[in-house]
């Protein structure tokens, strides 16, 4: 996150904690599209995503006092709420047959499209990180997607991909190490 984003987030959090309704508008303007996009990606249902986005921001509004800035950014918190809600939704039996039983080749492994330029206000998009993403091999991308968008554990991913658990752990570890290293290298000195 850029320093100016961090500063504006701090102000936004302070205003949210003061229950300033304009701060909620600002939070939606800042994170609404990303939140909606994440939930659509997980649930594959725009209508459900609209309902869940409303719940995410309602929770942000009602639980902002619980937010601890020392543990991470507002962006991470909002997206974590959204991701958890969406994954909970697709794990419910109501949606199981419409979301999770689609053939793998239709849904799970769509090529990762790196959109750094479109989300540049919300994450560290240093050149090193961009390169790290594009340098991941298909297996590394696959396991990251299954963990991030489906909420699968490593053993669930191994079952899903019919690969040994050790192999999945290795792909996951190497992918995360590459991202971590890239972020450390891309950090301003």
Partner 1 sequence: MTHSEMDELYELYLLGALEFEQASEIAEHVSQHCAYCLAQLKESSRVVESLQSLIELKQPPPELRARVLAAAAPPAPKSRPQWPAAFALACAASVALAFWGLGQQNRLEEVSRQRNELRSALAILSEADTKTVSFGQAQTEPQGRVFISRNGGVVFLGNRLPELAGGKTFEFWLVPAKGNPQAAGLFKTNAQGIAVNVLAKSFNPADYAAVAVSIEPAGGSPQPTSKPILIVPLA
> With binding defined as CB under 8 A, does residue 76 bind partner 1?
yes
Least separation in angstroms between residue 169's CB and partner 1 is 9
Place of tokens 């961009």: 130
> With binding defined as CB under 8 A, does residue 72 bind partner 1?
yes
> With binding defined as CB under 8 A, does residue 21 bind partner 1?
yes
67: tokens are 């937010």
x/- mask, partner 1, residues 148-187, rule CB under 8 A, reads: xx-xxxxx-x--------------xx--xx-xx--x----
Choose which of 9, 12, 45, 73 interacts with partner 1 (CB under 8 A).
73
Least separation in angstroms between residue 163's CB and partner 1 is 15
Least separation in angstroms between residue 139's CB and partner 1 is 15
How many residues in the shown chain lie near partner 1 by CB under 8 A?
Answer: 72
Least separation in angstroms between residue 179's CB and partner 1 is 5
C-alpha–C-alpha distance, residues 122 and 102, integer Å: 31
> With binding defined as CB under 8 A, does residue 100 bind partner 1?
no
> With binding defined as CB under 8 A, does residue 91 bind partner 1?
yes
144: alpha, beta or left, given left = phi > 0 and alpha = psi -120 to 50? alpha
The interface with partner 1 within residues 30-69 (CB under 8 A) comprises 32-34, 36-38, 40-41, 46, 49-51, 53-54, 57-58, 61-62
**11 or 88, CB closer to partner 1?**
88
> With binding defined as CB under 8 A, does residue 108 bind partner 1?
no
């Amino acid at each position: 996150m850029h320093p100016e984003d961090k500063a504006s987030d701090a102000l936004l959090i302070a205003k949210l904690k003061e229950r300033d309704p304009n701060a909620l508008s600002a939070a939606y303007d800042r994170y609404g599209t990303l939140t909606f996009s994440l939930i659509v990606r997980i649930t594959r249902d725009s209508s459900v995503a609209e309902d869940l986005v409303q719940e995410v921001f309602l929770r942000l509004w009602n639980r902002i006092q619980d937010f601890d800035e020392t543990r991470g950014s507002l962006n991470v918190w909002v997206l974590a709420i959204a991701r958890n809600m969406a994954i909970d939704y697709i794990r419910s039996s109501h949606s199981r047959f419409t979301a999770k039983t689609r053939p793998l080749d239709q849904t799970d492994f769509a090529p990762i499209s790196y959109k750094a330029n479109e989300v540049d206000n919300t994450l560290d998009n240093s050149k090193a990180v961009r390169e790290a993403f594009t340098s991941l091999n298909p297996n590394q991308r696959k396991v990251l997607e299954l963990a991030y968008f489906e909420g699968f554990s490593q053993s669930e991913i191994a079952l899903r991909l019919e690969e040994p658990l050790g192999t999945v752990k290795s792909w996951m570890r190497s992918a995360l190490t590459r991202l971590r290293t890239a972020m450390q290298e891309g950090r301003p000195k």
